[in-house]
Amino acid sequence: MAHAEAHAHDGHDHDHNHAPAGIGRWLFATNHKDIGTMYLVFALIMFFIGGAMAMVIRLELFKPGLQFVDPGFFNSMTTMHALVMIFGGVMPAWTGLANWMIPLQVGAPDMALPRMNNYSFWILPFAFTLLLLSFFLPGGAPAGGWTLYPPLVLQAGDSFGLTIFAIHMMGISSIMGAINVVVTIMNMRAPGMHLLKMPLFCWTWLITAYLLIATMPVLAGAVTMLLTDHYFGTAFFNPAGGGDPVMFQHIFWFFGHPEVYILILPAFGIVSEVIPTFSRKPLFGYESMVYATGSIAFLSFIVWAHHMFTVGMPLAGQLFFMLSTMLIAVPTGVKVFNWTTTMWRGSISYEPPMLFALAFLFLFTIGGFSGLMLAIAPVDFQYHDTYFVVAHFHYVLVPGAVFAIMAGVYYWLPKWTGHMYDLKLATWHFWLSTISVNVLFFPMHFLGLAGMPRRIPDYNVQFADWNMVASIGGFAFGLSQVMFVWIVLKSVRGGGPKASARVWDDTNSEGLEWTVPSPAPFHTFETPPVIK
């Protein structure tokens, strides 16, 4: 026994001495924490690049007329803003959080496939370099919307092939990351941790990973057909050769709709951990949350054509997609009520992670309701391709996905860095972000209902006032995020007090010791207490 221990100890020391230092530590990283950190830093950079593109869009729309950019470049901006934010911002951020937290939460020493983990990260900087290089090619960046609909996207210049290749690389990275999550959770859980004992973040990510593995190849197929139509004279989507542009929409949205759940499910996991912590109660309805997540994932595969009510589908098709879409509201409602019930009669405190989780709860629900409106086929004929749709998906993705990422970072940062960050500054960051995000996106509902079309650089003077309000909100929201970087940097560099062993039990928002006795840790509740 002693010999084995000595041998193990020696092996550890040996590895430690030969761990690459400096830049090598990051280039050849196989440690899940280092890779998680790289994903998160990459996502942050992409958020700012995508945000800069959004600023160009809001600057042009500040008042009617063509001021700053020509219409072609404006459409490149809307296209690239979406691609960068979805594939470069939100998805890598979730993968970074998964890398950091899943091994820790299931009791594994690392991710299951550390070399592949390294590879799946390092594909991304190259993919986005290619994507952004397309701005410098003749004809500029693609301007067909992030949905890349033919025939519009086939007008693209030389950048078209580059964009498709970049999308393929992002897809490969996502699939590899997802396989890693599945194998880690399925094979490397600590003894005694069966699936229904896992933290909900692990559950939501496991289901997300299956969605990624199932849908990314569908996107790959769709863009490959676009590629051959563009360069090799095939006619998948060209009516002149017997093809059908609507077929592209079907294939794309069969990927695209599960994709929106890929962007939001991990958020549900984070919120399901933050709310119980700061309510000082176990999560209400743990198993129903797991089943609701699974139901949402299953239903996400049968609702895709609600994005295409206006293509002239038969009435039976419209009815099916309308009703199946409305059905998703049921498991989503289960989650919202469970979170609310978790807080009911809890001992709630309002630290930054909880503030972001509460904003998520309220504002994501607004996005859900506008989604329910869009699901109704006859009225969608009015809403389709207006700013109402833009308002809807931004409410789900910004105060939804992005706020949940921030809640997660603020929740786990003290554990990552060993230092508490500036709670007062983080609270300011929360309030500035929350107010400005609503000033930015809420008026878009009014614009859309009044008939303002999306992806248009110029507009009727009747829409001028609300556009100006939205643009001001946009600039304020963008500037507020600089605070986030500062808060995180300060904590990483060791500014601020050392974090205690149980961070959120030992400090309240003023940084004082708690006067109430700390509650039983979450994991001591085998079953929720019975209420007589």
Give the residue numbers annotated as catalytic, written as ranges. Answer: 81, 110, 146, 173-174, 257, 259, 261, 272, 306-307, 332, 335, 454
Q: Cα(61)–Cα(383) distance, rounded to whole angstroms?
A: 20
What is the number of other CB atoms lying within 10 angstroms of the CB of residue 301? 15
Q: With 0-12 CB in 10 A as exposed, 13-18 as middle and 19+ as buried, what is 412? A: buried
DSSP string of 251-297, one letter each residue: HHHHHHHHHHHHHHHHHHHHHHHHHHHHHTSPPTTHHHHHHHHHHHH
| Three state DSSP letters for 31-55 | CHHHHHHHHHHHHHHHHHHHHHHHH
Query: Which one-letter DSSP state was computed for residue 462?
Result: G
Place of tokens 């001021």: 67
| Entry field: residues in the chain | 532
Start-to-end CA span in the chain (Å):
52
| Three state DSSP letters for 368-388 | HHHHHHHHCHHHHHHHCCEHH
Q: Cα(234)–Cα(179) distance, rounded to whole angstroms?
A: 33
Task: Report whether 248 contacts 256 (CB < 8 A).
Answer: no
What are the backbone angles phi and psi of residue 181, rounded to the nearest 5°?
-65, -45
What is the number of other CB atoms lying within 10 angstroms of the CB of residue 202? 24
Residue closest to 267 by CA, chosen among 125, 98, 16: 98
- Helix then strand then coil, % of the chain, to nearest 5: 75, 0, 25
Task: Report whether 374 contacts 448 (CB < 8 A).
Answer: no
